[in-house]
Amino acid sequence: MVRSLFAVCIASFIFSTALLILGNKRKNIFSAVFALSGILSFYFLLKNSFFSEKFLIWKTALSVITDNFLLGVGFNNYKSVSLSYGTVENVDVLYCYNIFLQVLAETGIIGFVLFLALLFVFFFFVIKRLSSRKDKKTYLFVLLAVIVFLVYNFFNSAAFVSTNMLMFFYLLSFPLPLYVVEKRKERVNGYILAALSLLLIISLGIPLYARQEYKKGISFFANKNFAQAKICFIKAMGDDYLNPEYSGRLSDVYFAVHQVNNNKIFLKKALKWSEHASRLAKNNGKYYYQLAWLYHFVKNDEKASENIALAVEKDPFNLLYQEACQILLM
């Protein structure tokens, strides 16, 4: 209900603006009706604490961004680390619910700058086209569609549904024919936009491929096919080295192989990748818990005690961590 109200609010204001731009007296009446609808929707959103919840979610997002400012946590990895930064009662923090914060958190400042550059090029050339009054209505529609998408996803996470993302990039590429006609300068600008789009698509697409390899690895691991599971997790890490889930799962594979073969080489490899996972997710207790038991098995009691204490510190109400703490600190 709340999301529907928000969509109505955004659409009303945007269509009101569009009718004013196209303007005549008859259209101004419809514009006023849309504006009134938007104001009423906005009022009900305020009554439902819609914006206050989003501010709490963004606070968590800013903490994630601060710790991963340069490269981010990796595309589609935000939900893997967000919960370790604390939860908000009755509020979903698995997503940023803000397209700009989500891009910054997952791709870092480098990906974020590329994203902003792509938007700048799009708006620059579409507005330029509108000023020429050729195909004005068509380009106004595309412009408003992109604005609606961005404004709606300023408070939601629908942008990261694959079909929505595909449609968004299609809209961004719509003015591309403008740049490759008439002048060489415009053709160069088209190449720049295409290059930026390609870089952004690659930066978004590779982690999705990594996630598919990860899911295959989970399936192999469940069927105790540890050799294939290891290959899948290594491929996933190769494409998305910053996701702690992948290194944590690789650690599980090596530990499982150690249990089958009783070979300490595999136990040391399990320890290595568990340490890597804990470095990537410093606020996630489960990796310290995993690491504590591995140190226990290599008979490093000091490190085991240190890591189980960190796990309990990160999640003091986790009964599993508390039980392990009593065992490992004996």
Whether 91 and 7 share a structural domain: no
Look at residue 91 and give its three-state secondary structure: strand
Q: Do both 162 and 280 map to the same domain?
A: no
Residue 228 lies in a domain: no
Please report the pLDDT score of residue 254 as a whole number.
Answer: 92
Which spans in the chain are helix H? 2-22, 25-47, 50-67, 78-81, 99-131, 136-152, 162-173, 176-179, 184-222, 226-239, 244-261, 264-280, 285-297, 301-314, 319-328
Residues 24 and 110 in one domain: no
The predicted structure's pLDDT at residue 251: 92
Only one residue has tokens 């963004």, namely 58
Looking at the domain assignment, is residue 280 inside a domain? yes
57 and 40 inside one domain: no
Same domain, 63 and 28: no
Phi, psi of 196 (to 5 degrees): -65, -40
Please give the pLDDT value at position 110: 86
Same domain, 192 and 290: no
Using the 3D structure, point to which of 162, 189, 223 is the last residue of a domain. 223
| Residue-level pLDDT at 138 | 73
79 and 41 fall within a common domain = no
How far apart are the C-alpha atoms of 62 and 200, rounded to whole Å?
Answer: 22
Q: Do 171 and 195 share a domain, yes or no?
A: yes
End residue of a domain, out of 223, 257, 283: 223
User: How far apart, in whole angstroms, are the C-alpha atoms of residue 8 and residue 261?
Assistant: 61
| 146 and 190, same domain (yes or no) | yes
Instruction: Give me the number of domains the chain comprises.
Output: 3
Average confidence (pLDDT) per 10 residues, the chain, 330 residues: 48 54 52 51 53 79 85 78 66 78 88 87 81 70 80 77 74 64 49 59 66 85 89 85 85 91 88 89 84 89 88 83 81
User: Same domain for 72 and 106?
Assistant: yes
| Amino acid in the structure at residue 113 | V
pTM of the model: 0.57
* Residue-range definition of the domain harbouring residue 303: 243-328
Does residue 235 belong to any structural domain of this protein? no
Q: Which residues does 14 contact at the CB level (< 8 Å), separation at least 6?
A: 144, 147, 148, 151
